[in-house]
Amino acid sequence: MSLLTIMPSGKSIEVGEGTSLLAAILAADESINHKCDGNASCGTCHIFVQEGRKGLSKISREENEKLDSIVGVGSKSRLACQAKILGTENIKVELLGFGSGF
Ligand code: FES
């Protein structure tokens, strides 16, 4: 289990190993875009991981290619649908309020 904290609301939930950040964020009743339903093809689930990046699955080639095409991507960027929680550390993510990945 990892504790996932979602900014800017500050809501925290316990998340089991293997859960995607997208599924966890939706389970916490937070709103996040996910137009392609988790296929790494829309980029609308782009978020920043502020803490605990090592507690997430590695970035795949598909995710990397999609991130490369999105405006506003930085070193903390992940696609929430592709990043799976490993259960090794607590994680803090930041939902982005601007229209990213369209
Ligand atoms: S939901 Fe489309 S890339 Fe994540």
Residue 79 lies in a domain: yes
Do the domain assignments include residue 102?
Answer: no
What is the percentage of the chain residues whose pLDDT exceeds 90? 93
Which of 56, 54, 53, 47 has its CA nearest to residue 17? 56
Q: Which DSSP letter does residue 85 get?
A: B
Distance from the alpha carbon of residue 26 to the mean position of ligand 1, in angstroms: 13
- Find the distance separating the first CA and the last CA of the chain, reported in whole Å: 33
Residue 77 in any domain: the answer is yes
Report how far apart, in Å, the C-alpha atoms of 50 and of each of 6, 35, 36 are: 10, 23, 24
pTM of the predicted model, to two decimals?
A: 0.93
Ligand 1 mean position, distance from CA 82 (Å)? 8
Say if ligand 1 is within 6 A of residue 43 CB.
yes
Whether the CA torsion 31, 60, 16, 54 is positive or negative: it is negative
Does 15 map to a domain?
Answer: yes
pLDDT digits 0-9 by tens, 56-98: 999 999 999 999 999 899 999 999 999 999 999 999 999 997 5
Neighbours of 69 (CB within 10 A): 9
pLDDT computed for residue 98 by the predictor: 55
Ligand 1 pocket, 36 CB below 6 A? yes
**Mean model confidence pLDDT for the chain:** 94
In a domain, 101, yes or no: no
Query: Structural domain of residue 70, as residue ranges?
Result: 2-95
